[in-house]
Structure 1
């Protein structure tokens, strides 16, 4: 198995979650009624724990204070299966405390003071020499600076990835990949004006030359990343994700890219895999939902649509579903889907399978196979997922999804919809959306046939 060595500043993150239903009487601020308090690894420790959760062999070189927070963080890393080389920290272990209400952050409190990492010993060089890849997770608190000479030598032996911080220094020359986010890239390259993907690409190319790196990937949140290398630059788009918590997304990106590099992936392959991993991590609730060392819940029999609905429900969001054949997608379909998506936080389309369409529409339908119909639907910005079903109606699919709302387009009465009775079992509701006159698949088919005959 490949071995990943993570170098950087370890933090202790704490989440305090609760409900906020009233304002404080002496100030216009919400009162949070605490329900849960949980600690987890942060900073470089989070990157290491995430890589270990992927099944990667991980060693973390960091500096822990001789205090309660340091002891707690050490225990969390042991639980996550991360080997630790501790330089020792002269000062308190940094802590970040987030206050959340109904899953949404309200406030962050930082606890830290002047601190200095200890001097590296022989075990640091031994760990770096045994690395298949090295990830520097720099949070500007001194560990990367203290080991810079070691990291220069490491970059000459194996792929070295550097996740920089404005408070720290730039990567060592010869880094395999540097991964600043868009805000960090703008701070490192202040002379490049503008925003968006184009400006990020210009900054990536400038930093590539300045840092003498083999590759620079500027991460763009939900837009993915821009990668610059010796062969030019390219955009790496992210898959769409409904909602989520971006806390820890940068560490998820860097840890996955480093694990892939350790296995021999190219920079582009590493960035593409890291973008997918970060998007899934955010959609799944981010660092707040991560449980180091906990077994992953079984996904057997559960579709991507069901997983999405579960995550949105857990965050207190509204799950919307609709259904249909969607054979030859037209403007009426798109308007209905956009209206349905506006009713909640995610939209799942229950899609009739080919066999189901044949029973409902006749042996000459569908014109477009089910996988292609699903692909077209997923490409729409208003559709978050698609769930295929074999029955004539989506009742069983709705039982699996348990949406809050089922939206149906057309000239119907609610009493006519069997889906309304299904949703009533768990307190959901059915909604009729406006019908778009003159738009139907059957009409398009007749018109195409008529034109073919006349032509």
Structure 2
């Protein structure tokens, strides 16, 4: 797809290193910088996300003529950039991280710039788009009257997704969707409160004020609220993920939403796709992972938005204990729930290694599983005590355990060490295998037999 992103750009820089001592000049940490990562920010980040997904990404923006602009262009390699002059320094936002934790951010060139112009080439680049994303970062480009008139005209035939900014311009009428986060929505609509009720009230106001076809209020871990004229608001839940840095989630949501709408999806379906894409982005490491090579990228699970390897890594990095267990979980019952809850209390995260459909058939016969692996994984992930699910295709979980290297491996029931071949594997990296009480009165086999009797 040809997706055009129009809006303000900036250069993001991360300086990372360890901090093992305080400065002699003041009681502040000394960060020994061992890594410098730069990336395009603002509308540039949205364009890079689309380009990384294999789309024909076109960025319509304005750029300065300083060294930072050159670095920014380098970070946009692979993206078609159509830029006019900004007449201002390139904004640079630099974050300093010590042992993974943000310490300070300092901004350069972020003073209010003069309103930029819009060239004929910039306007022409909008033509032929399958979708357009207006990524407003408050630098003035989307205030330009000529550009706004062109976007309003195109909104009648092309899905336009408008990602607003508190210091930016109002969306033009008729766009397919506007995507404020809940804080922005409450501020724009002048609505007080918090939570879903306040988000719905704000969305109602903004639908009338902006004249868009839909308003999607993103609510972080609580998902997104979809409001469109004449319909009740719909809440799209977000997959549960572990993420220390939410930066870029809104950009990922807007980019995935535009792709969904360009493909003909209804607004609620596209919103579901966008919510899952944002969660998956954060679970995969967020903006910090965007510069990694394909070989360095974390493995993904066949469960939307969940990444067991990332959950395990982040738990270890924070000094926590990784707990894992495994099984087929063909029909979830009270025995499973109690075993999983007991396992979760042993550490700081619980990862379930789940037998795939093929694996279950090999163990239990052609008539099993009763429930497909995608649904089994989703049901497990919905439990509060489960942090992530890892599906494996072998008959035994040793390979999955080796990938996770849990500190504690949990089994339900009474076992001797020689009955569990994985016990030796877990102990090889200093882990421990333990058991928790099993409830014999509850079993998948008995449930399956009962279901067969009632038809």
With the length of structure 1 as denominator, give the TM-score of the two structures.
Answer: 0.85
Per-residue displacement from partner, 1:68-108 (whole Å, max 9, x unpaired)? 1111101211x2x1111212122211111122233333322
Aligned to 1:83: 80
Aligned to 2:149: 149
Per-residue displacement from partner, 1:229-275 (whole Å, max 9, x unpaired)? 12412111122223353111011111111222233333223222211
Cα distance, 1:295 vs structure 2: 4.8
User: Larger relative CO (CA 8 A, sep 6+): 1 or 2?
Assistant: 1
Query: What value does the CA root-mean-square deviation take over the aligned residues?
Result: 3.4
5+ residue gaps, structure 2, are: none
Q: Is the Cα contact below 8 Å between 1:139 and 1:168 reproduced in 2?
A: yes
Change (3 A) 1:275 1:195: same
Q: Is the Cα contact below 8 Å between 1:59 and 1:83 reproduced in 2?
A: yes
Per-residue displacement from partner, 1:124-156 (whole Å, max 9, x unpaired)? 221123322221100111111123333333323
Q: Is the Cα contact below 8 Å between 1:7 and 1:136 reproduced in 2?
A: yes
* C-alpha distance in 2 between matches for 1:363 and 1:156: 55
Alignment of 1:33-432 (within 5 A): 33-77=32-76, 79=77, 81-112=78-109, 113-146=111-144, 147-190=147-190, 192-232=191-231, 233-243=233-243, 245-291=245-291, 295=294, 308-315=307-314, 316=317, 319-326=322-329, 328-344=331-347, 346-352=349-355, 368-369=370-371, 371=373, 373-383=376-386, 384-391=388-395, 393-412=396-415, 417-432=420-435
5+ residue gaps, structure 1, are: none
Cα distance, 1:212 vs structure 2: 0.5
Residues 96-105 or 244-253, more deviating: 96-105
Q: Is the Cα contact below 8 Å between 2:46 and 2:255 reproduced in 1?
A: yes
Q: Is the Cα contact below 8 Å between 2:299 and 2:307 reproduced in 1?
A: no
Equivalent residue of 2:106, what SS?
strand
Change (3 A) 1:166 1:35: same
Q: Is the Cα contact below 8 Å between 1:56 and 1:259 reproduced in 2?
A: no
Per-residue displacement from partner, 1:288-328 (whole Å, max 9, x unpaired)? 11128x557689997669x8243235542654311234455
Q: Is the Cα contact below 8 Å between 2:301 and 2:391 reproduced in 1?
A: no
Cα distance, 1:183 vs structure 2: 0.7
Aligned to 2:15: 16
Equivalent residue of 2:156, what SS?
helix
Change (3 A) 1:188 1:369: closer
* C-alpha distance in 1 between matches for 2:356 and 2:169: 55
Q: Is the Cα contact below 8 Å between 2:10 and 2:90 reproduced in 1?
A: yes
Cα distance, 1:336 vs structure 2: 3.0
Change (3 A) 1:262 1:367: closer
* C-alpha distance in 1 between matches for 2:79 and 2:334: 53
* C-alpha distance in 1 between matches for 2:112 and 2:361: 71
Equivalent residue of 1:90, what SS?
coil
Change (3 A) 1:333 1:137: same
* C-alpha distance in 1 between matches for 2:60 and 2:11: 15
Cα distance, 1:416 vs structure 2: 6.0
Q: Is the Cα contact below 8 Å between 2:64 and 2:90 reproduced in 1?
A: yes
Per-residue displacement from partner, 1:368-400 (whole Å, max 9, x unpaired)? 556364443233122221424543x53333124
Cα distance, 1:215 vs structure 2: 0.6
With the length of structure 2 as denominator, give the TM-score of the two structures.
Answer: 0.85
Equivalent residue of 1:62, what SS?
strand
* C-alpha distance in 2 between matches for 1:213 and 1:25: 56
* C-alpha distance in 2 between matches for 1:341 and 1:227: 34
Per-residue displacement from partner, 1:206-229 (whole Å, max 9, x unpaired)? 101110000100011122111111
Change (3 A) 1:370 1:22: farther
* C-alpha distance in 1 between matches for 2:103 and 2:424: 39
Change (3 A) 1:259 1:301: closer
Aligned to 1:441: 442
Cα distance, 1:5 vs structure 2: 1.6
Cα distance, 1:166 vs structure 2: 0.6
Q: Is the Cα contact below 8 Å between 2:51 and 2:79 reproduced in 1?
A: yes
Residues 296-305 or 81-90, more deviating: 296-305
Change (3 A) 1:209 1:92: same
Equivalent residue of 2:129, what SS?
coil
